[in-house]
Structure 1
Amino acid sequence: MLAAMPPPVPPPTPAPGAPRVRERGDACPGALRLHSADDGHLARLRLPAGRLTARQVEILADAAEALGDGRISITSRGNAELRGLADGCGAELAPLLAEAGLLPSPTHERVRNIVASPASGLDGLGTADVQLWARELDERLCAAPWAAGLSGRFLFVLDDGRGDVTGLGGDVTLVAVAPDAALLHMGGRAVRVAAADAPRAALAAARAFLSAARAAGTGAWRVRELPEGHEADVRDVRKALAAEEVPEPVLPQGPPPAPGPLGPAALHVLAPLGRLTAARLRALLPADEVRLTPWRGAVVAGTDPARLPALEAHGLITRPDSPWAGVSACTGRPGCAKSLADVRADAVPGRPGLPVHYSGCERRCGHPHGDRVDVLAAPGGGYLVDGVPVARTDLARAVTTARTAPRTAPRTTR
């Protein structure tokens, strides 16, 4: 049965310089453990590398319409969320997801957090097809009983060398550096491993983190939360594999794929404000597979890019010069009790530029990583745009200016 989660209790703020102590497990929702919101219950489905088969696309769209509010939200990790779920929907949702292959391990479903370069293997770029690594890593993760002890926030990032996902804050990051080699990064150290061993190496690194977290006794959820003197050691990976420690190199940094064609048989579209209706999700078919992306879009593999105008007619973002490209928002009112505004209704397009995220409260749920325009609802009405008070009537002008103005330093609030 699906169980509704109680509202999370924020942990106490540690004193400056003191290690953060987690006295409870993380409260991240999953497919079986739901979050209770003002608009009903929320289920978060982990989709390693964002991958959905055509059949899973159909089933997910059906579930959103039959059990939820008819929409699918795409998270900043390329996962899917169903909202507006009614009490007692577990008797239908859990078996539906399991039968579709979307729930391969009830004990591990919240730890299947794997982001991989979404265009890998499709557009001729990148050094290796890390989508294959993602599938093997997921199988190994679900088969390891100890891995169920990872936090629902622990993140594996697999980059094919183009640098599109290295900036997403992975706890364990694999980067393809040659067709037969990868670099594994964790906690400021790196080891070089054979490409064939990359998924096994990532899992070994996660086990090293859990060992370090137990020794520290602080209940750390993420690698960056480990206190000084209890760092997770990538040298443990060397013991498990034929790995060579190397000086920590600078991670490659590249842009996400632009909306539009990806080679001769794939395309990339974005969901308006990161949310798909069931009809828009179905419009992505026919396809060999659909890969939801950390940029709140979908890479559609095995399809004709000539379909882009038809997808634009469905309301999807298909061009990099769209004024809605890069615009995202949290749930806001009326779905979230903490929100100060209906940010999705207030969000405005503008000239393409920096990503912009609208937040209803200071938690800034779902914000993108990296430099962005931060639009925060203010008490009493209005917004703060990168910290500057702006009336709601002036929001469009202020956001357009912030997206296109030269930056002297990145503004990455929170």
Structure 2
Amino acid sequence: MLAAMSTAPLRSSPQATAAPRDRGDACPGSLRLHAADDGALARVRLPGGVLTVRQAGALAAAARDLGDGELHLTSRGNVQLRGLADGCGADLAALLDAAGLLPSPGHERVRNIVASPLSGLDGRGAGDIRAWLTALDAALCASEAARGLSGRFLFALDDGRGDVAGLDADVTVRAAADGRAVLGLGTSRPALAVAATDAPRAALVAAEAFLHRVRESGTKAWRISELPLPAGALAAEVRRRLAAEGIAAEPDEPAAPPASHAGGPPPGAIGSALSAHIPLGRLSGLQWRELTHVAAATQAGELRLTPWRGAVVPAPGLGPADADAALARLCATGLVTEPGSPWLRVGACVGRPGCAKSRADVRADAARTLAAAGRAALPLYWSGCERRCGHPRGDRIDVVAAPGGGYDLSAVRGGQQAPGASVADPAHLATALAAFSPA
């Protein structure tokens, strides 16, 4: 049933070294659709994962009227619409624009911002970063230079708890206990400390400095970690640019994210918020409607989608009984509202039939072996091929569909992949997963 296999080590980040490229950035967006096996695909950027009830309704309408009826969450808290018909681009753009989801057509693919989803809701963190999110998105859309960023360049706004600081962003802004903000550039050192009020502008300046260095070097770098620069060179340039704008910046050390960051907010009632996990990041029309109805009944009237395929509903003033009733409604649709669910330990790429490169329907196989996930030594991530699209950053068991059928199992710890085993017969997967003991 099990056969030993050897695997090549993984780098700690898929963008750890400069990558030669002979084409431009083909990352999909709302206006640039991607042709997938199940139809066209649109990726709608939602900075911080935040959207109003009205915007949620617009996305539901787009999925229902133009796509496959479902909404698919990405590892950056964005939404993908799949199964779109040929020629629907103009209708989709008009629908999104009317809902305020296309504030700048020239920047729609670069509005990649993740933010601590519980910021301001649970009493943790060093400060509420919601104002940073609004200001950074506005500054990004107003910057002509920022249009040159790739669709993969990522900003992270961390309220000090260390959750999104662990997502390998290109520019990370972390709220500090002393009231300042710490600006991190990829994984390089040093970080730069600035006044909290200057944080959004400092993040944009850092991105513009990166673009300047890309042009100077003549490379096609899409991420900061791909830029061939001596250690500290980019930080020095950012500091000079900040000084020219009257923003004081002092060297600082980036904080190491806590080991618990990888799972995101646990499901249930947390402070003045409700949290639900979305199995495999796929929401049916019914599930999306229930989430929207719950959000509409709160004072805030918004949703926050998380990079861990979850949803947070800010619910200030909601009493315990009403919170329990709302969570029960979400649970009845198949969303996860209890912290003990094995779904919290399972992720997967889209697999078949949506992806031509996938060798298996990994989502179906993940669902069939769900019970084994609760007994496995590490969380599981299922991939239809060796690209492992959307894989998490933390320790995990990689379950990769193999050529000719079956799966290869391997453990990833600290960014390094250890030798694993092969399962030739998918019927034996559940037993193999429960028994698999990472080295």
- State the TM-score, normalizing by the size of structure 2: 0.84
What residue in structure 1 maps to residue 239 of structure 2?
A: 235
Q: Offset at 1:232?
A: 2.3
Mapped pair 1:305 → 2:313: no
| Equivalent position of 1:21 in the other structure | 20
Task: Tell me if the contact between 2:205 and 2:242 (Cα under 8 Å) persists in the aligned partners.
Answer: no
Matched residue SS, 2:343:
coil
Deviation of 1:400 (Å) = 3.6
Aligned pair 1:277/2:284, yes or no? yes
Name structure 1 gaps, 5 residues minimum: 1-16, 409-414
Task: Confirm or deny: 8 A CA contact 1:161 1:252 kept in the other structure.
Answer: no
Aligned-partner Cα distance in 2 for 1:86–1:332: 20
Measured after TM superposition, the shift of residue 340 of structure 1 is 0.5
**TM superposition shift of 1:325:** 1.2
Deviations 1:224-262 (A, max 9, x none): 001134952332354234333324343332432211112
- Report the Cα offset of residue 286 of structure 1: 3.1
- SS at the partner of 2:105? coil
Match for residue 120 of structure 2? 121
SS at match of 2:41: strand
Alignment RMSD, CA only?
1.9
What displacement does 1:179 show?
Answer: 6.2
Q: Where in structure 2 are the equivalents of 1:3-402 lying within 5 Å?
A: 19-178=18-177, 180-186=179-185, 187-229=188-230, 231-233=233-235, 234-239=238-243, 240-253=245-258, 254-255=260-261, 256-263=264-271, 265-284=272-291, 285-287=293-295, 288-302=301-315, 304-306=322-324, 307-347=326-366, 348-349=369-370, 350-351=373-374, 354-386=378-410, 387-390=420-423, 391-402=425-436
Deviations 1:141-186 (A, max 9, x none): 0011111000110000111111111111100011101363110011
Q: Secondary structure at the match of 1:232?
A: helix
Tell whether the 8 Å contact from 1:113 to 1:155 is kept in structure 2 after alignment.
Answer: yes
1:112 counterpart SS class: coil
C-alpha distance 228-118 of structure 1, shift in aligned 2 (>3 A): same
Deviates more, 1:197-206 or 1:248-257: 248-257
TM-superposed deviation, 1:401:
4.4
Identify unmatched segments of 5+ residues in structure 2: 1-15, 296-300, 411-419
The 2-side partners of 1:45 and 1:249 are apart by: 30
**What is the rounded CA distance, in whole Å, between the counterparts of 2:285 and 2:131 in structure 1?**
28
Question: Hey, what's the Cα distance between the residues in 2 that align with 1:401 and 1:128?
Answer: 44
CA contact 1:20–1:218 (8 Å) conserved in 2: no
Cα deviation per residue 1:20-70 (whole Å; 9 max; x = unaligned)?
Answer: 333432110000000001100000000000001011111111111111001
**Secondary structure of 1:286's match?**
helix
Taking the aligned partners of 1:326 and 1:47, their CA distance within structure 2 comes to 25
Per the alignment, in what secondary structure is the counterpart of residue 324 of structure 1? helix
Which is bigger in relative contact order (C-alpha 8 A, separation at least 6)? 2
Deviates more, 1:139-148 or 1:240-249: 240-249
Residues in 1 aligned to 2:268 and 2:140: alpha-carbon distance in whole angstroms: 33
Q: In 2, are the aligned partners of 1:179 and 1:195 still within 8 Å (CA)?
A: no
> 2:228 and 2:359 mapped to 1: Cα distance?
35
Given the superposition, is the C-alpha separation of residues 162 and 341 from structure 1 closer, same or farther in structure 2, using an over 3 Å criterion?
same
User: Do the aligned residues in 2 keep the contact of 1:159 with 1:166 (CA within 8 Å)?
Assistant: yes
Mapped to 2, the partners of 1:326 and 1:273 lie a distance apart of: 10
Letter aligned with residue 308 of structure 1: L
How many residues are aligned here? Answer: 388
Question: Following TM superposition, by how much is the alpha carbon of 1:19 offset from its aligned partner in structure 2, in angstroms?
Answer: 4.4
- How far apart in 2 are the matches of 1:315 and 1:175? 34
Whether the 8 Å CA contact 1:62–1:278 is kept in 2: the answer is no
Please give the alpha-carbon distance, in whole angstroms, between the structure 2 residues aligned to 1:282 and 1:99.
20
CA 1:273–1:55: 2 relative to 1, 3 Å:
same
Query: What is the distance in 2 between the residues matched to 1:249 and 1:229?
Result: 18
What one-letter code is carried by the residue in structure 2 that aligns with 1:314? T
CA distance in 1, matches of 2:334, 2:88: 30
CA distance in 2, matches of 1:270, 1:97: 25
Amino acid aligned to 1:312? C
Q: Amino acid of the residue matched to residue 180 of structure 1?
A: G
Partners of 1:241 and 1:329 in 2: how far apart?
A: 46
> Could you tell which deviates more after superposition, 114-123 or 238-247?
238-247
Give the Cα–Cα distance (whole angstroms) in 1 for the partners of residues 176 and 113 of structure 2: 19
Following TM superposition, by how much is the alpha carbon of 1:215 offset from its aligned partner in structure 2, in angstroms? 1.1
Contact between 2:111 and 2:137, CA under 8 Å: does it hold in 1? yes
CA distance in 2, matches of 1:397, 1:165: 34
Measure, in 1, the Cα distance between the counterparts of 2:122 and 2:22.
45
Q: How far apart, CA to CA, are the structure 1 residues paired with 2:17 and 2:37?
A: 36
Q: Distance in 2 between matches of 1:24 and 1:163?
A: 35
Question: Share of identical aligned residues, percent?
Answer: 58
Cα separation, 1, equivalents of 2:156 and 2:250: 19
Separation (CA, whole Å) in 2 of partners of 1:59 and 1:19: 39
Between 1:265-274 and 1:304-313, the stretch displaced more is 304-313
For 1:18 and 1:126, how far apart are their aligned partners in 2?
Answer: 32
Q: Following the alignment from structure 2 to structure 1, what is the Cα–Cα distance between the partners of residues 341 and 427?
A: 22
